[in-house]
Structure formats: structure tokens, C-alpha cells
Chains A and B, each alone.
Chain A
Amino acid sequence: MKILVPVKRVVDYNVKVRVKSDNTGVETAGVKMSMNPFDEIAIEEAVRLKEKGVATEIIAVSMGVAACQETIRTALAMGADRGILVESDVDLQPLAVAKMLRAIVEKEGPKLVILGKQAIDDDMSATGQMLAALLGWPQGTFASKVTVEGDSMTVIREVDGGLETVVLNLPAIITTDLRLNEPRYASLPNIMKARKKTIDIVKPGDLGVDPTPRLVVIKVEEPPKRQAGRKVASVAELVDKLRNEAKVI
């Protein structure tokens, strides 16, 4: 079976973002960009399913500016077979992304789509569930273990109280949680090989989707800053401060 993995280009998780002085967004010029960490986990899971003989082909899709090709190349170097870039300069929100992914799913016919549980820039945690709804497929969100057995799949999910196990009929949607696997680093030979793999480029219009944002960003601001407090010299002083100054115990 084919597996589709959407991979998003985001500000690297090590970067401390800064709000632009005109309050229109965060500074992204000159900032290190990487694949969303949850999407690396998604690619890794797909590659493992291929290594086990469950999957036959892995397609990595990214949506956004032309530079998203770099993100697709990373996915190809990790083991995806080919890529699709939906190129757009518009702020792509999950509803539009999910609609475009639906169009790609209808064309490519994957039996499984593995997404990240959230993108670490916009933290929406929405796209996978939305795609599942648009396709009428079942969903296994926040997955920490996935086992494919014939036409169905067992998914262990991370929920607020612990873990939950569900069985989904294929085709289905998975979103990855942190503990699903530890993504591999691409080896140099694989990075070289990835350069020869194909990336098709399409536009939102080719997929019949109007990507105009439904949520308009009015302004982006710094959150209130927390002042660093002070050091205490001993446990006794700490407890005294908590009791008599902060009065929280």
C-alpha cells in the first residue's frame, strides 16, 4: 500500500522566536527552518512500515513557499520515494491544507496518511483530524504505537490519563506523538540519492482549492514577560519565602 506523509517546514525547535516590531507576525527572515519534528516521526514510521514490507511507496507532501522543497528533500533522504510540493505564498491554514491533502489522496489512493500531531509553529493540532473528516476515514491521533494487520490497524494513543488502544479499518489517518519512534538521521549516500528522486510541483488551484485564510491575524504580540526572581541560599530560606512572602504554602 501507498503511504502519504505531509511534512511541514517550520522554524527550528531550537530557535527562540521573536515577534516583529510591527506586530504582524514573528521574525522568520534569516531564521533556521527545519522539518516539523512530529513529521520526522511520521516519515520514520512510514519508512519502518516499508522496511517491514507493509508499505510499497511513500509520498512526502509539503505545502507552502518554494523552499518547502528542502523539507521534502529531507523526507526523501530519510526514505520517502517521491515528493509533491503544493506551492503557495498564502498563509496556509489547516482547513485549506486538509482540503488540498484530500485532493491529493483522491488522486494517489494511499491507504494510510501519517501526519504530525501538531506543527510546532502554529500549534493548531488540527490538520490530521480535519483530513480524516473530509475523507470520512477513521483517525488514530497522538499515536505512540501502530501495528498494521491486513485491512486494519491497532493504534495505541497518548491521552490525558495515560494510554488508549483503538482499532481502525483502513484506509485511515494517523497523527504521531513523541514516543512513536526515534527518527533516523539521513546518511550521506541517502542524501545524495534523494537528489535524484522526483518532486512534482502543483498549485492550490490545480487541486481545486481556494487557500484564502479564514482566520485573519490582526496582530501578534509578545506575551507578558516574567521577571527572573532571586536565588535563595538554602532549603530553609526557600520554605520560609514560600510561606511568608509568596504565601503559597
Chain B
Amino acid sequence: MVIPSPGPLSRDAELSPRIGAIVVGVSAGAINALSVLLPALPRELAVAVIVVVHVSAGRRSLLCDLFRARCAMRVREPVDKEPVGAGTIWFAPPDYHLLVERERTFALSLEAPVHFSRPSIDVLFESAADAYGSELLAIVLTSASCDGSAGALSVRSHGGTVVVQEPDTAEAPLLPRLVIAQGSPHKVGTLLEICDFVRATVEGGAP
């Protein structure tokens, strides 16, 4: 299903803005959804993929260990001030907000949780929207929290591209529904359709 978008948009990669970074927000059902999306991304993908997963404030996140073995791209958690490197999947570290500065370095913060979440999808999306403008691609996946809907709106208002998992195919449809209801997404699809969209739209995505 393709929802008509408010701004000019083409599925044709020639006409879409160049994608400079991808941000992904996901919560309940994250492991299953990411297990489809992330391993499908080729090592040559010429952008950073920055992922916020709501995880309880544990001592150490297991996400990197879990996905490193399965993904072609590099998988890491950033430290503060680290440049947002392309070709890498970056997981937000537990118990910090993850932001992107305009000079395209990572920044961390311990501010209060947003919608009970730290890291927060809104915080990442809003800062990345500011840093990347129309070059940002935001992917909203299964989540039972409303954290991420304000962020998706901000991505849209900065001219970025918003892609949402089809709610009926999401383990938790709340966030996908909220973002669709805002009328902002450029594409709504299954996980496999989203993979295809990314490979077709992003430099280095297709062989």
C-alpha cells in the first residue's frame, strides 16, 4: 500500500532526495522485526543505520551481540562524539538518549525519559531530522508506545522520508497506526517491502 504523500515524492530513486542516513524506531516485537530488516541490508549500503530499541536499563545491551553475527553491515554502539559512520548499524546504548549533531557526530544525554523511554525514538528522530533534513529516511516498526510519533512528524516537516510497517503485520500496531494517522508516511508496507524500498532507494542498496 502506498499512501499519497503531502510533498513531492517519487519511488524513482533518481528523483528522490539522496538518502544520507536511516533512523529506525522499534519497541515491542523489535527482535523479530529487526531480524528481518537488518540482515537484509548489504554491506555496501552507503549510509549509517541508527536504531533505537526500547530496552530496559540493563547493565549492557545484548543487541549488538545478537545482530553482529547475522548482519553484513558492521554493528556497534556509539560513544559520545563519535562520527556517524556509514556502512554501520548503530544501536542506541541502554539508558541514554542518542542524538545526532549537525556536524554528524553522535551525542548522548541523560535527560528524563520521553514517554517512559530512554533511549527515546522521538529524541533520535528529531535531532536527526534537524541534522539531515530531506536526506533522512525514518523507518517506524512495531511498537506499543507512542514514543516516535512526534519524531516521525518532525522528520516529515524537515522534508525527510517516512516509511511505516503495515500495522496489521506488526506485532504491536500502535505506533505504526499513530504515524499513519498523522498522514505523514511515504510508504506503508510489510517488512520485506520495506527492505526492498531501502535497497531500491539508498545508494549501495542494490548490487
Bound pair: A and B? no
